[in-house]
Amino acid sequence: MKALVLERTKVLALREFPLEETVGPHDVRVRIRTVGVCGSDVHYYQHGAIGPFVVREPMILGHEAAGVVVEVGAAVRHLKVGDRVCMEPGIPDANSRATQLGMYNLDPAVRFWATPPVHGCLRPTVVHPAAFTFLLPDNVSFAEGAMVEPLAVGMHAANKARLRPGDVAVVLGAGPIGMVTALAALAGGCAKVLITDVQAPKLELASRLGPIEPINVREQDLASAVSRATGGWGADVVFDAVGHPSSLAQALAVAAPGACVVLIGMPGAPVPLDVVAAQVKEIRLETIFRYAHVFPRALALMGSRKIDVRPLITDTYAFADSLAAFDYATAMRPTSVKVQIELPPDLA
Ligand SMILES: [Zn+2]
């Protein structure tokens, strides 16, 4: 089959790749139609590794996908040929202790698309467990379906925050994950979200997504904006979608007494934490790693239009132009949020 292959650092090829996959009784075969380009795909392309995960052999990229079921295993009951679906890209060991405890995203043996040595989904078809394959509502497009994976990160963060109706939240960072976290926070009951960045076009886009106040931290003081929005009390929840020593300090500074700070962005190195600053407000610190149990809820919110991710899909490339898509995603314009690749319905 023809696939987008990361041959080694900085070398991509759209080429024939030998992959034979059989459909087991609990699997489906899905024809891939839309794949989102993620920061992690770009990072592997540019650097060949993320932390302990090193690309040692050619690997197919892509993990944000939607498509059409073309074959179902004998034991599959909830899906049929022709169904439009999206897939959760991490497959845990069903018998692991983490999975038994409901934390399947933390299973050390999880096999996640486009995390070496596991191949991703920028190819004509994939075979996937039906249990990790979800029906798209009729009014949700393949492009939106491919946005469920990044949205799931924001949904998981919102769950961890234990939002209450009327909360005021701050989201640090208006990249794709910051944006979907703001959407998840509003859908989870926040009255208002303040979002920060240094790129004006991203903030302008964010401000059109709902009751979201953009704060350009190059020109504006976040602490005084939060103070104005909360009567001087502070934010009920702060989502750090940056993952930098300065953003962590900022999160603690603008959090209200008793607030929750959710760490989403992954720092490239250990960062210092002002423990006393957290203690004097009894801050509840939460962390997330990917997500669990949120795909059906994300799709329900898209189907009811409580969450609309369409404004975030800013750039679409044809599969034949995948190399150009990755080069664009490596040096994106500030007006761009999500780059997607569309695969033709008859790709072999
Ligand atoms: Zn992703």
Digit-coded pLDDT (tens) for 195-239:
999 999 999 999 999 999 999 999 999 999 999 999 999 999 999
Is the model's pTM score more than 0.75? yes
pLDDT attached to residue 51 = 85
Distance separating alpha carbons of residues 228 and 104, to the nearest angstrom = 41
- Residue 132 in contact with residue 88, Cβ under 8 Å? yes
Give the Å distance between the CA of 151 and the centre of ligand 1. 9
Cα 263 to Cα 261: distance, rounded to the nearest angstrom: 6
250 Cα: distance to centroid of ligand 1 (angstroms) = 25
CA 63 – ligand 1 centroid, Å:
6
Question: What distance in angstroms lies between residue 231's CA and the mean position of ligand 1's atoms?
Answer: 36
Q: Residue 147 C-alpha to ligand 1 middle, in angstroms?
A: 9
pLDDT single digits (tens) 138-175: 999 999 999 999 999 999 999 999 999 999 999 999 99
Stretch (H or E) spanning 284: strand 284-287
Distance 130 CA to ligand 1 centre (A): 20
* Mean pLDDT within 28-33: 98
What is the 232 CA–ligand 1 centroid distance (Å)?
36
- For residue 58, the model assigns a pLDDT of 96
Cα–ligand 1 centroid distance for 248 (angstroms) = 22
Q: How far apart are CA 51 and CA 136, in angstroms?
A: 33
Q: What is the whole-number distance in angstroms between the Cα of residue 295 and the centre of ligand 1? A: 13
Q: How far is the CA of 274 from the centre of ligand 1 (A)?
A: 30
How does strand 133-135 pair with strand 84-87?
antiparallel
For residue 36, report the distance from its CA to the centre of ligand 1, in Å.
7
Peptide bond into 117 cis (omega under 30): yes
Give the tens place of pLDDT for each residue, 109-128. Answer: 999 999 999 999 999 999 99
Taking the centre of ligand 1 as the mean of its atom positions, its distance from the CA of residue 278, in whole angstroms, is: 30
pLDDT of residue 268: 86
Question: What's the gap in Å between 150 CA and the centre of ligand 1?
Answer: 5
Query: What percent of the chain is modeled with pLDDT above 90?
Result: 98
Q: Phi-psi bin for 114: left (phi > 0), alpha (psi -120 to 50), beta?
A: left
Distance CA 140, CA 131 (A): 20
Distance 89 CA to ligand 1 centre (A): 9
Q: 30 near 126, Cβ under 8 Å?
A: yes
Q: How confident is the model at residue 348, as a pLDDT?
A: 85
Between the CA of 171 and the centroid of ligand 1 the distance, in Å, is 18
pLDDT-derived band at 107, boundaries 50, 70, 90: very high
- Residues, Cβ < 5 Å to ion ligand 1: 38
Mean per-residue pLDDT of the chain: 97
The predicted-structure confidence for 244-269, as pLDDT tens digits, reads as follows 999 999 999 999 999 999 999 999 89
pLDDT (tens digit, 9 = 90+) per residue, 181-193? 999 999 999 999 9
Report how far ligand 1's centroid is from the alpha carbon of 230 (Å).
Answer: 33
Q: Is the dihedral of CA 244, 331, 144, 68 positive or negative?
A: negative
The pLDDT assigned to 347 comes to: 87
Using an 8 Å Cβ cutoff, are 286 and 259 in contact? no
* The pLDDT of residue 276: 98
| Alpha-carbon distance values, 236 to 89, 161, 255, 329 (Å) | 32, 9, 6, 34
Measured in Å, residue 176 CA sits from the centre of ligand 1 at 9
Q: Give tens-digit pLDDT for 62-93.
A: 999 999 999 999 999 999 999 999 999 999 99
**How far does the centroid of ligand 1 lie from the alpha carbon of residue 211, in Å?**
25
Residue 257 near residue 234 (C-beta atoms within 8 A):
yes
